[in-house]
Amino acid sequence: MKRAMNEILIVTNKIESSTIKRNFDKKKSFRWVYLASDYRLMKQFSRELGENFAVVNISDVLNQVADEIRAEHVEWIDSLNRANGGRLSWWFGVVSSRHVYYSKLFLYSCYLLALQRIWQHEETRPNLIIADSPGLQECISIWLQAQNVRVTVKKESACKRFQGVIRPLVQFLAAAAVFATRYFAALVTKSRATAHVGPQVVVDTFVHDISLAEDGGFTDRYFPFLHEYLSVKGHKVLVHPVLHGFKYNYMSIFSRMRKSSTRFIIQEDYLRLSDYAVALFTPFTLCNMIVTLENFKGFDLEPVVREELYLQPFFPVVQSILAYRLWHRLRQAGVELAWVINWYENQVTDKALIAGVRAAYPGIRILGAQLFIHVPNYLSLYPSQSELEAGITPDLMVMTGEAECNAVQKYVLKIPCRAGAALRYSHLFNMTERIENTSELKNTILVLPPGYLDETLEILDMLLDALPDAPSGMEYLIKCHPDFSLATIVNAFGREQWPNEFRIWDGNLTDAFQVAGMVVASNSSSMVEAMVMGIPSILIGRQSNLNMNPLAEISSASFEICFNGFQLAKAIARFYSLSQDERDTLIRGGLLLRDQFFTPVDADGLMEFEVTQG
């Protein structure tokens, strides 16, 4: 049956566009809105639905809503944490995490508020809503029916629903395989027990495959200069590695750790089979947890909370339980701690480390280092009041500068914080002078895609849309993220539409900044570095997802956010036409910005990573 003009069809993005079109009269025009995060799929729906379906653009309103409701949403999660946080495993789950790359609760809340706003205007009220998931589909249906709107909900196929039902079992088997592989690799490479004599300063940091050379030489990209400083000061350093990007290939990295002069905590050397048994089955308790829940801003979010719990990623939960229990095993093994320096992103594994150290080593101080610029929509980076009350935040936080010390306390009443050496940004205090006449660089745009393919394609699509209206003769230098090869990006974007103006930059980022007249990026902290160097920056606003804007807290005339190709072309033209005097002013302003956000890497700054007990 064809839809009436006043009846709303709600589908998920797993439904074929041909199926959707069969529900509408081919002779009439309709409006549709895409409340889902997959940008490429949005483009596909737009092509396949055809000219009879006009999309309602929500990019700008979605950005506004996110700005307005962040604090309320964190308070709402805090209420859930207080009601359900009596169980330790709750803190290691996706709902409490606020991690926007694992949990979509904040994004879905923004979708619902954005829908509420466009619904207020007849010209933007949709006939078709494409939702990200069945849970969101149900939330939308509940709200619309409460507005006395006629709603038809088209469910996913039985096959897709069955895939969702068996997902926890598939995740369990995958997690079990990873940890079994790790355990076997650690056992095979272990030649003898490593003795850790005396109090150790534990440095918790991410370890990638490139972090260790074949001879065991260790390069810590998160804490450069710190290991050498602590050693010179006479401290014994013990690295707690958070392994990233290995999947099932652990034999080589464990072998290199064993031969390294840097001492590592390899958790498999201490954990017992009983620890793994508890850890592997904990996610099932989270999947079936019944939570105390209140509406958020008038919306019933129970369907998406229930969905998030059921679709709970297993690996972070399992690793969190193991990370928590590890410190008890280390204490049993006689390992003494001086203090702990945690690369603190407030992920569930960070909470597990803090809780585990506090339980096994009462009185040991934990320093949480956040040596990055905060992004407002990346909610999990900020500690919340309920987390502080539960004792799963650091004793002391070290930030890159005073401005970040103020920013990080957005959702807590008070947490000790100080500015320390901005270890990863030392080059900003030793910058090579840009050429005297920076106006000569105005034709060159440095494009910095993030580590997410769909977001990268969104940037390239908008640049392509902007080309006809942007100043002619521009050159676009695209520096690929290390997670993606050029071939991957070009093939996904489409070789046939790759313009001549796009050129790949193979050099390093520091050299790229030297030739850039402006920067175009999305979700890249390098934009802050560009601003410090006086380079104008343009953020590409997401069409149907949260904007990860590292410059949101920075007020500057040399920054713009653009949500379509026309806006982008205007911004490029504005920055292109800057005079040399205006560019010199930006460079001077950048130095002031540097002093606000970054602390020099010197003895005074490094001293902030030392902790006096008591």
Give the residue with greater pLDDT, 80 vs 155: 80
- Do the beta carbons of residue 245 and residue 208 sit within 8 Å? yes
pLDDT of residue 575: 94
Q: What strand order describes the sheet that includes 150-153?
A: 53-55, 30-35, 128-131, 7-12, 150-153
pLDDT digits (tens, 9 = 90+) for 439-473: 567 789 999 988 888 899 999 999 999 999 999 99
Q: What is the DSSP letter of 155?
A: P
Q: Is the dihedral of CA 448, 450, 452, 458 positive or negative?
A: negative
Starting at the edge strand found earlier in the chain, the sheet holding 444-448 runs 502-504, 475-478, 444-448, 518-521, 537-540, 559-562
Global pTM? 0.92
- pLDDT tens-digit series, residues 331-342: 999 999 999 999
**pLDDT for position 439:** 57
Q: Which amino acid is at 312?
A: Q
Q: 310-331 in b/e burial notation, b at 16+ Cβ within 10 A?
A: bbbbbebbbbbbbbbbbbbbbb
501 near 471, Cβ under 8 Å? no
| Tokens linked to 194 | 């490593």
- The three-state secondary structure class of 586 is helix
The tokens describing 287, both together, are: 């999947």
pLDDT of amino acid 276: 97
Does residue 156 surpass a pLDDT of 80?
no
pLDDT at 293: 86
Q: How far is CA 37 from the centre of its chain?
A: 14
- Cα–Cα nearest to 353, from 330, 374, 372, 379: 330
Mean pLDDT to the nearest integer, 82-98: 94
| pLDDT score recorded for residue 245 | 87
3-state SS, residue 95: helix
Token output for 501:
């103006």
State whether residue 244 is helix, strand or coil. Answer: coil
Q: What is the pLDDT of residue 252?
A: 95
Cα 458 from Cα 205, distance rounded (Å): 31
Report which listed range, 35-39, 557-561, 609-613, is most confident: 35-39
- Taking a C-beta distance cutoff of 8 angstroms, is the pair 78, 33 a contact? no
Label residue 277 exposed, middle or buried (CB < 10 Å: 0-12, 13-18, 19+).
Answer: exposed
Q: What is the pLDDT of residue 431?
A: 67
Q: What are phi and psi of 154, to 5 degrees?
A: -100, 120
List the single range of 75-79, 82-86, 124-128, 325-329 with lowest mean pLDDT: 82-86
CA pair distance 289, 309, nearest whole angstrom: 7
- Residue 193 clears pLDDT 70, i.e. is over it: no
Please state, in angstroms and rounded to a whole number, the distance separating the CA atoms of residues 549 and 570: 20
pLDDT digits (tens, 9 = 90+) for 499-544: 999 998 988 888 899 889 999 998 888 899 999 999 999 999 999 9
Residue 555: pLDDT band (50, 70, 90) is: confident
Q: How many angstroms separate the CA atoms of 142 and 507, rounded?
A: 53
| pLDDT reported for residue 339 | 97
Round to whole Å and give the CA distance between 494 and 154: 32
pLDDT at residue 437 in the model? 53
pLDDT greater than 90 at residue 292? no
Pairing state of beta strands 502-504 and 475-478?
parallel
Tokens of 444: 């060159």
Burial class (CB in 10 A: 0-12, 13-18, 19+), 354: buried
Alpha carbon distance 157, 14 (integer Å): 9
Q: How far apart are CA 237 and CA 200, in angstroms?
A: 6
Average pLDDT for 319-337 = 97
Please, which pLDDT band fits residue 355 given cuts at 50, 70 and 90? very high
| Start-to-end C-alpha separation, the chain | 73
Determine which of 54-68, 108-122, 360-374, 575-589 has the lowest per-residue pLDDT on average.
575-589
The two tokens of residue 39 are 């940008």
CB atoms under 10 Å from CB of 115, counted, come to: 25
- If you average pLDDT over residues 24-48, what whole number do you get? 93
> Looking at the predicted structure, is the pLDDT value of residue 254 above 90?
yes
Pairing of strands 475-478, 444-448: parallel
Model confidence at 4, pLDDT cuts 50, 70, 90, reads very low
User: Is residue 390's pLDDT more than 90?
Assistant: yes
With cut-offs at 50, 70 and 90, classify the pLDDT of residue 5.
Answer: very low
Residue 469: its pLDDT value, please? 95
Task: Give me the mean pLDDT over the 483-502 stretch.
Answer: 88
pLDDT of residue 433: 57
Q: Which of 557, 458, 512, 91 is nearest to 282 (CA)?
A: 91
Flag whether pLDDT at 550 surpasses 70. Answer: yes
